[in-house]
Amino acid sequence: MGKRILGKNGLEVSAIGLGCMGLSYGYGPATEKADAIKLIRSAFEQGVTFFDTAEAYAQGANEELLGEALEPFRDQVVIATKFGFEGGDVQKGVNSRPDNIRAVTEAALKRLRTDRIDLLYQHRVDPDVPMEDVAGAVKDLIQQGKAKHFGMSEAGVQSIRRAHAVQPVAALQSEYSLWWREPEKEILPLLDELGIGFVPFSPLGKGFLTGAIDASTGFDKSDFRNVVPRFSEKNRKANQALVDVLKQIATSLSATPAQVALAWLLAQRPWIAPIPGTTKLHRLKENVGGAAIELTAGNLSDIDAQLANIRVQGDRYPAHLQARVGK
């Protein structure tokens, strides 16, 4: 698989990474440990060197899983994790006080079985802590060798500028896909200007762009998508039009809808590295295959033209979660 550089300090990652959250949290029951380790190691064998986790994914359990899975080849991979929620619990709200950043980082190093975190993200902007203090705390950790690069997640333009002025930001992680293109308005131009890489999460629309979800799909009671307006039965039915177009385009390219969605992201900028997540080995192989598809200018304009008149229905977050992004 090809490589990409995030930021200006040479952080090299595989073109497609692996978002590990869903193995432990968010999309129903956690995957059996042995199966999860097998999937993570299979990703590495297929060329994936960029693995994403966070303290808030099952309050450290996902970090522990990743640490065990990657230990045999730790020096050949890039591990990204995140701080920023009180006690690692999303329900308790944000906490990016410098003392908490330091404590969470120390705990993450132990769980990940490593002496440094390659990419340390602030998970969400904390309105009660000056961004300069957050960036300064991470800068100290980088100087101590406990972190190598600084990242932000779902941050807004002004927060990114303020942080970057204190400690260069290597990557912004936010949602971006064919059914959530909001970053194109302000975020992508800013990242272009500052030389910051972009790591799209949910690049397959939380599974919707694979074509495997329709109006009749049922989700486990613990699945986050149950509270996402975009995933209401009514909106899934309306949004099927986008997937139908994607399927047609994929067929013409001898690819799958997921592969076209990932290839489309890779074609937007040379410093974009999406992190699709999955719990299934066959989906992992499919996703990795997206990196091998090179869309031509004609393909890209065709995709834009065919999707131009399709308006995706439903918000991407319930209101209380939407309030935490873009700050």
Number of domains the chain is built from: 1
Residue 231 lies in a domain: no
Residue 221 lies in a domain: no
Query: What is d(CA 306, CA 153) in angstroms, rounded to the nearest whole number?
Result: 30
The residues that are catalytic are 57
Query: What is d(CA 213, CA 206) in angstroms, rounded to the nearest whole number?
Result: 10
Q: Print the domain residue range for 104.
A: 3-204+269-293
Residue 317 lies in a domain: no
Residue 320, Cα to own-chain centre: how many angstroms? 20
Which residue in 203, 199, 220 sits closest to 272, CA to CA?
Answer: 199
CATH number of residue 32's parent domain: 3.20.20.100
Residue 311 lies in a domain: no
Please give the chain's pLDDT, 327 residues, in tens. 999 999 999 999 999 999 999 999 999 899 999 999 999 999 999 999 999 999 999 999 999 999 999 999 999 999 999 999 999 999 999 999 999 999 999 999 999 999 999 999 999 999 999 999 999 999 999 999 999 999 999 999 999 999 999 999 999 999 999 999 999 999 999 999 999 999 999 999 999 999 999 989 999 998 999 999 999 999 999 999 999 999 999 999 999 999 999 999 999 999 999 999 999 999 999 999 999 999 999 999 999 999 988 999 999 988 888 888 888
Residue 211 lies in a domain: no
Angle CA(164)–CA(159)–CA(19) in degrees, nearest 5?
A: 85
Residue 77 lies in a domain: yes
Continuous H helices in 71-144: 98-111, 131-143
Residue 303 lies in a domain: no
Residue 156 lies in a domain: yes
Question: Which residues does 63 contact at the CB level (< 8 Å), separation at least 6?
Answer: 53, 54, 55, 57, 81, 108, 111, 112
